[in-house]
Amino acid sequence: MCGIVGYVGQKQTMEVLLGGLKRQEYRGYDSAGVAVITDGGSLESAKKSGKLQVLVDHLTAHPLTAGHTGIGHTRWATHGAPVDVNAHPHLADGGKLAMIHNGIIENFAEIKQEMLEAGHEFLSETDTEVGAVLLGHLVAQTGDFRTAFAQAVNRFEGAFTVLAIHQDSPDLILAARHNSPLVIGFGDGENFLGSDVAAFVEYTHHAAAVGQDQMVAITPEGVTVTDFAGKAVEVERFEIEWDASASDKGGWPSFMAKEITENPDAVANTVRGRVTETAVDIPELATLGADTIKNTQRIILIACGTASYAGQVAAYAIEQWARIPVEVQLSHEFRYRDPVITPQTLVVSISQSGETMDTLMAVRYAMEKGAKTVSICNTQGATIPRESDAIVYTHAGPEVAVASTKAFVAQITALYLLGLQFAQVRGTLSEKEIARNISELQSLPGKIEQVLLVGPEIRQLAKWMTESPAVLFLGRHVGFPIALEGALKLKELAYIHAEGFAAGELKHGPIALIDHGQPVFVVVPSPRGSAEIHSKVVSNIQEIRARGARVIAIAEQGDVAVLPYADEVIRIPLADPFFEPILAVVPLQIFAMELADAKGLDVDQPRNLAKSVTVE
Ligand code: M6R
């Protein structure tokens, strides 16, 4: 939550800062601000509540003086409402110092009391201003920005990435991180900082992730990284694999529209290089150690939100293929339930951003308890993969829309590859069965392309439903998490009450919700899989139809059993039952987007949300 950018160099600083904020706006969009050290040597800043465009318009009308050192921030409010005064940067030391912050300084109350007693005043309700005032106080005491910064950072508790500039040190940005992301971009005669590489990918592909409890100093000439005690540390550099254009809308009306059409590539790129015709080889799993795959007795998938539904889908397949008990836990519940973890437990985290605090904490907890950990992640250099024993990156490309779409299908794909590799090593699937599943995976991108053609049909459906107060979603087996995901997409994008249910639960309560005209999406399993499951879902459709539901079935081509009972049928191509979820979710993604769009809502930046939830 919150996007941060820092720049020192000869470019138009404001252009770099605003571009970096634009590409990170998905991290938080309730206010934004910038501060620069001008070429005249003074510090100037501007900040505005509302989306970044409000700040841009303000700066167009009231430009800051040009400078070559600057910091920028886009906010998701934690302490204090999203109003101008609470936006970052926060100034201190008589306006000579500016600080921006992502996270929560948990001991802010104690520091604030001290600062009040020392005679300082506060303008905002934020924890960040408390940090800035402490830093300013220490600069005045020590007479040295770097020393003061190190002292301040060592006082902060909680989760923080902070960046600070001081007009008496004009070519310098100081930064520190604890439980919150920070990456460095290396340029030629210039350097960058960001919450993620999107902040500077337009200018450099050379990056490094800053480790836990490390401080960074950037100047145009160089970058130094130390621990909180000031001891120099080496950072691991990496090359950013995608271009700035990948995080542009590229002519699409929204990032979400673009990202849904990238579903096929997300699957294809995640599979690429990890399979032959008859075998799966994820080289990255080697870091788990030779016998881990053979010795694993239990797999726990941990994630939040959409990523947890990807885990729920994959749990069915991995358990069946590898014959290992697999359970899915919400990250924020996992570590508070004192789970039984042994060295034979494999904890697989699933996170698009790789920065979700709940998931990061759950991974750390699992490691402390002796589990091996694998990170399924879409963001290079993020904290969760860096701290895990093994990383399987999903190659969905940057996902900018706050609602996750292509990352979801890529997560299921990566988990399926992992499940197949476990089955292969443990001998629980034959070579023929592995080959058949690989071929299913490889055929998915083409099949998703076919599903995408239903877009106009769904748009029409969505237009009819703008007044619906609630929409329900039903599914069984792997279709159940798809029902949950369909409901989540609709809630977060269209602000419509939506619930997903296991179809088998209907008669245990939810059927009471069915009334005349109630729209219900039903994910219908293939009759070519378990005939029993298929006929049970058809019976469920009859039961809700008899009570007045308006049924929209998502069913495979040629499934005629649903026709007499469904008001609408959305067709998906034939696939093995385990692979159907990756097809069935696409119409639900499109539906949520189209309904939100028909209601005139911002599909990329829904209210109250942020893409990367970096606070607990
Ligand atoms: O970055 P992560 O995958 O860890 O994020 C997990 C959830 O916060 C995320 O999937 C969230 O539910 C999305 N808004 C769903 O569209």
- Tell me what pLDDT residue 608 has: 86
Residue 130 has phi, psi (to 5 degrees) of -60, -45
In the chain, the domains with their CATH numbers are 3-246 (3.60.20.10), 250-449 (3.40.50.10490), 455-598 (3.40.50.10490)
Q: Which residue, judged by its Cα, is nearest atom 14 of ligand 1? A: 403
> Which string of b and e fits 282-319 if b means at least 16 CB within 10 Å?
bebbeebeeebbeebebbbbbbbbbbbbbbbbbbbbbe
Residue 109: per-residue pLDDT: 95
Q: Kindly give the number of the ligand 1 atom that is closest to the alpha carbon of 352.
A: 3
Q: What is the pTM of this model?
A: 0.86
Q: Please report the pLDDT score of residue 1 as a whole number.
A: 72
Q: Say how many Å lie between the CA of residue 562 and the centre of ligand 1.
A: 33
Residues 40-52 as b/e (b if ≥16 CB within 10 A, e otherwise) read: eeebbbbbbbbbb
Which residues, including other chains, have CB under 8 Å from residue 604's CB and lie 6 or more apart? 26, 254, 255, 256, 400, 401, 402
Question: Catalytic: 536?
Answer: no
Predicted pLDDT at 27: 85
Residue ID of nearest Cα to ligand 1 atom 16 = 403
Those residues whose C-beta lies under 8 Å from the C-beta of residue 407, and which sit 6 or more positions away, are: 266, 306, 307, 352, 378, 394, 396, 399
Residues of the chain with pLDDT under 70: none
**264, two tokens:** 């096929």
User: DSSP per residue over 238-264, as a string?
Assistant: EE--S-GGGGS-TT-SSHHHHHHHTHH
Could you please report the per-residue DSSP string of 128-145?
HHHHHHHHHHHHHHHS-H
State in Å: Cα 304 to ligand 1 middle. 6
Task: Give per-residue pLDDT as tens, 242-271.
Answer: 887 777 787 899 999 999 999 999 999 999
Ligand 1 pocket test target in 180, 485, 613, 615 with most atoms within 8 Å of CB: 613
Q: What are phi and psi of 467, to 5 degrees?
A: -95, -5
Q: Which atom of ligand 1 is nearest to the CA of 356?
A: 4
Beta carbons of 436 and 513 less than 8 angstroms apart: no
Task: Please tell me the predicted confidence (pLDDT) of residue 174.
Answer: 98
- Residue 596: which of 468, 441, 484, 476 has the closest Cα? 468
What is d(CA 102, CA 398) in angstroms, rounded to the nearest whole number? 20
What per-residue confidence (pLDDT) applies to 269?
Answer: 94
Active site residue 611: yes
